[in-house]
Amino acid sequence: EDKVVQSPLSLVVHEGDTVTLNCSYEVTNFRSLLWYKQEKKAPTFLFMLTSSGIEKKSGRLSSILDKKELFSILNITATQTGDSAVYLCAVTSNFGNEKLTFGTGTRLTIIP
Amino acid sequence: GAVVSQHPSRVICKSGTSVKIECRSLDFQATTMFWYRQFPKQSLMLMATSNEGSKATYEQGVEKDKFLINHASLTLSTLTVTSAHPEDSSFYICSARKMGFEGPYNEQFFGPGTRLTVL
């Protein structure tokens, strides 16, 4: 059974700090790893990673995948209160209709 | 765009009643929709994969007779929670994938969710 573990479970930092969120996984026939931001309702897509070592970047957010260590990180620099959310990591495999297997998420709180 | 809506956004019902939740892709056709459940402070758990015109595929541990899924058209899937009990209280989220997409990854677009409370 595919498994995704995120850490920390929750994180509280001050505005302006940089944070690193972790995601490790066990997947049979890995296809991709995705990061989502969930603020109260539906998750919104951030990144999809399929290759090791290639950083994806969007503004203050960046992410990288290590397929050897089965690990990904999501970095957020110069955090803002609007970054407060639950960040979800999910994986897909080449089996099972590309379904998403989610981790438990990291609840990030940014204090002004 | 790729907008997915859900109706209702919130429902409260009595134990033993059935509740239907709709998931619609508003500006695209979706051959595949997914239904997730999320308990408080927990992650999304896939319940079933719904394919237009065929039976849904349920994940292990999800009772298909309790959670009835109908995907009657390319823009609508419904989830009916039959004989709901308090332990079914949860946040139900659907997602949809575009039909005919040929890129490297066919993204799932999520609906805003439906919060079900069973008294």
Q: How confident is the model at residue A5 (pLDDT cuts 50, 70, 90)?
A: very high
Superfamily of A3-103 according to CATH: Immunoglobulins (2.60.40.10)
Please give, rounded to a whole number of angstroms, the shortest distance from the CA of B56 to a CA of chain A.
12
Of all residues in chain B, the one with the smallest CA distance to A1 is: B60
Which residue among A45, A99, A107 sits closest to B34, beta carbon to beta carbon?
A: A99
The mean-pLDDT minimum among A40-49, A96-105, B97-106 falls in B97-106
Among B111, B106, B83, B86, which residue's Cα sits nearest to residue B31?
Answer: B106
Tell me what pLDDT residue B106 has: 73
- Tell me the CB-side half-sphere exposure of residue A62, using CA atoms within 13 A: 9
Among B38, B101, B76, B79, which residue's Cα sits nearest to residue A36?
Answer: B38
The per-residue pLDDT for range B89-113, each reduced to its tens digit, is 999 999 998 877 666 667 889 999 9
Cα(A76)–Cα(A93) distance, rounded to whole angstroms?
27
Q: Do B46 and A41 touch (CB under 8 A)?
A: no
Give mean pLDDT, residues A70-77. 97
Among B47, B117, B33, B4, which residue's Cα sits nearest to residue A43?
Answer: B4
Tell me what pLDDT residue B101 has: 67
Give mean pLDDT, residues A47-63. 93
Residues with Cβ within 8 Å of residue B40, at least 6 apart in sequence: none
Q: Do A42 and B110 touch (CB under 8 A)?
A: yes
Task: For chain A, give every domain's residue range.
Answer: 3-103
Average pLDDT, chain A: 93
Please give, rounded to a whole number of angstroms, the shortest distance from the CA of B29 to a CA of chain A.
17
Best B34, B97, B108 member to test A by mutation, with max A CBs in 10 Å, is: B108
Q: How confident is the model at residue A112 (pLDDT cuts 50, 70, 90)?
A: very high
Residues in B touching A102 (Cβ below 8 Å): 43-46
Q: Indicate if the pLDDT at residue B117 is higher than 90.
A: yes
